[in-house]
Structure 1
Amino acid sequence: MAIASPLPTDCYPVHDALGQLIATAYYHTQGELLCVVWTGHITNVEVLQVAEAFLQLQALRPIRRLYNDKTTTTGDWAEAMPWLEFEWLPKAIHQGLQAIAYVLSPDISNQLISRRFADRVRPQLPIRLFFDYDKEAALGWLQAQ
């Protein structure tokens, strides 16, 4: 991970049904921060799987800040949007989530979906979008929340 931050306390890989790595979550006790770094081509199935894993992890560890890095992903996950908005987000907030820094994929279609997601989250939670060259700024913003 190319972020200048304290070393993570724990690392949690998430694999799809075929055993391919789709995301790795790095938990940082300091700041109650979870950095989720996505990889590969993702669809709504993978997004739901990682979101469920987040909720399971959040039940075990305090997570107030989420750094969501999709710089190495492509794919259309728009079908997951209603579930994320109406199921995942309320649960994540109830369990203590307070802010999200979202690093965008360079894939334009993925960016459009990510922007729609941010628009739906923003009324309930601070969220800010960043480009891949702004990872340090994303982490700095998140730590200030």
Structure 2
Amino acid sequence: MEATAISVKNGLGNDFLHIEYNEASKWVYARWVGDVTNEDVKHGAEKILEQLQQHHCPHILNDNRELVGSWDEVTEWVQQDWMPRAIGAGLQKFAHIISPDIFAAMSVEEMVTRASGFEMRIFEDEAEAKAWLESE
């Protein structure tokens, strides 16, 4: 099996996150879409964590290019709750492709300052993000 994919829906039944595990590259690819609520971010982050745990995967490629709006109200939760569990699941590198939406971009800038225990870098280009994840 080369790749497995799931879609995560919000309370209205709309997809807001597509997650795919790429076995060849050993990363979880998470593509966020549209405007998300704080609860959507938490729910989606839990689904990403499940994939890390299931596949014993050391890398995340987090794609926010289609994300709109701010989610900085959950960065503390990400730091204090999600990050330690992701590190425990083996997370080593987190490549974040930034959104062109200024509010979404500001949220990730806040998250980067909180990241510890793994490497996290911000990219505008998908190819550069993938190359960094593949480098050792």
TM over 0.5: yes
Paired residue secondary structure (2:31)? strand
Deviation string, structure 1 residues 30-75 (Cα, Å, up to 9, x no partner)? 2321010110011211110101111222232112100000001111
More moved, 39-48 vs 53-62: 53-62
- Residue 135 of structure 1 corresponds to 126
More strand by share: 2
Structure 2: distance between partners of 1:69 and 1:44: 17
Counterpart Cα distance in 2 of 1:75 and 1:137: 24
Distance in 2 of aligned mates of 1:135 and 1:9: 18
In 2: Cα distance, 1:130 partner to 1:99 partner: 13
Q: C-alpha root-mean-square deviation of aligned residues, in Å?
A: 1.4
State whether residues 37 and 71 of structure 2, in contact with CA within 8 Å, keep that contact through their aligned partners in structure 1.
yes
The answer on whether the counterparts of 1:31 and 1:64 sit within 8 Å (CA) in structure 2 is no
Q: In 2 relative to 1, CA 13–72 (structure 1 residues): closer, same or farther, beyond 3 Å? A: same
Partner of 2:26: 32
Which ranges in structure 2 are unaligned for 5 or more consecutive residues?
none
Report how many residues are paired: 136
The alignment's TM-score, normalised by the length of structure 2, stands at: 0.94
Q: Choose the corresponding residue for 2:54, options 47, 60, 76.
A: 60
Q: CA deviation at 1:8?
A: 5.0
Q: 2:75 aligns with which of 70, 73, 81?
A: 81
Q: Which runs of 5+ in 1 are unaligned?
A: 1-6
d(CA) in 1 for partners of 2:53 and 2:33? 24
Deviation track 1:64-109 (CA, whole Å, cap 9, x = no partner) reads: 1000000011112111111100010000000111100000000111
Cα 1:120/1:8, change in 2 over 3 Å: farther
